[in-house]
Amino acid sequence: QSKSLLIAIAAFAVTATGVHAYGGPNILSRAGLSEKQVIAIQEAQQLKATGNDTAARDRLAEAGITEETLKSIHRAAKAVKVEMREALKDGDYEAFKKAVADGPLSDVVVSEDDFKKFRQAHDLRLNGEWAEAADILEELGVDVDKKHFYQKGLKKGFMSHLSEDQRSALQVAKQANDRATMQAIMDEAGLDFGHRFGHRGE
């Protein structure tokens, strides 16, 4: 296994929960993962949650999770986020439901009224009104403590919004110039990788 692959797997063990937040099985399906690989990711998430980082990395490697697999997941996650944001921008509830199908948000936004509230929270967040957005999300049943990309602003610098694990993984990825992994970590934290690192998105 290459050093780059090990770095990617290590970081993915940290950011697997981010994949779940963005769309869960929907994203993994879009990325073309096998049933074996989907199960491995779910097991890696559980192992990571209990502090078994090494076991999580090993489980992903055993299932044949490669750098290209991680990139496919990232591309699928990015596509879902774009679709979700476009639906919010256009006020298109049907498009939003399609984008978040099978993900956690599909259990939160279950009606057009919920969608309107979620859209309002999204707009408030974009305007920097984080506390107000968090209040609406809590009303909808979103655990804002775990949804960093909705709760946290950038006023104190992006590093302050990363967990210790995320900071460690980001540092390793930066040293290896592994931009895909850096993107995955920033995505999970809800931060704009392109803006933070002076990189223009596609």
pLDDT on residue 167:
73
Q: Could you give the 3-state DSSP secondary structure of residue 98?
A: helix
* Residue 68 to residue 83: CA distance in whole angstroms: 22
Of 6, 13, 7, nearest to 48 (Cα)?
13
User: Given pLDDT bands bounded at 50, 70 and 90, which one contains residue 181?
Assistant: low
The answer on pLDDT for 25 being more than 50 is yes
Of 186, 183, 172, nearest to 71 (Cα)?
183
Top pLDDT among 42 and 199 is at: 42
For residue 192, what is the DSSP state?
Answer: -
The answer on pLDDT for 199 being more than 70 is no
Of 156, 154, 153, 183, nearest to 170 (Cα)?
183
63, 16 contact by CB (below 8 A): no
* Residue 187 to residue 12: CA distance in whole angstroms: 11
Q: What percent of the chain has pLDDT over 90?
A: 12
pLDDT on residue 192:
47
The amino acid at 180: A
Top pLDDT among 119 and 58 is at: 119
Which long-range contacts (C-beta less than 8 Å, at least 24 apart) are formed by 157-166? 158/186, 158/189, 158/191, 158/196, 161/189, 161/190, 161/191, 162/189, 163/189, 165/14, 165/53, 166/14, 166/15
Q: 14-23, 93-102, 129-138, 167-176: which range is least confident on average?
A: 14-23
User: Given pLDDT bands bounded at 50, 70 and 90, which one contains residue 180?
Assistant: low
The pTM of this model reads 0.62
pLDDT digits (tens, 9 = 90+) for 46-92: 887 787 877 877 888 888 887 778 778 778 877 888 898 899 999 99
Annotate 45-58 with b (16+ C-beta within 10 A) or e (fewer).
bebbeeeebebbbe
Mean pLDDT, the chain, rounded, equals 73
76, 30 contact by CB (below 8 A): yes
pLDDT on residue 86:
94
pLDDT digits (tens, 9 = 90+) for 145-169: 534 544 444 444 556 666 666 677 7
87, 60 contact by CB (below 8 A): no
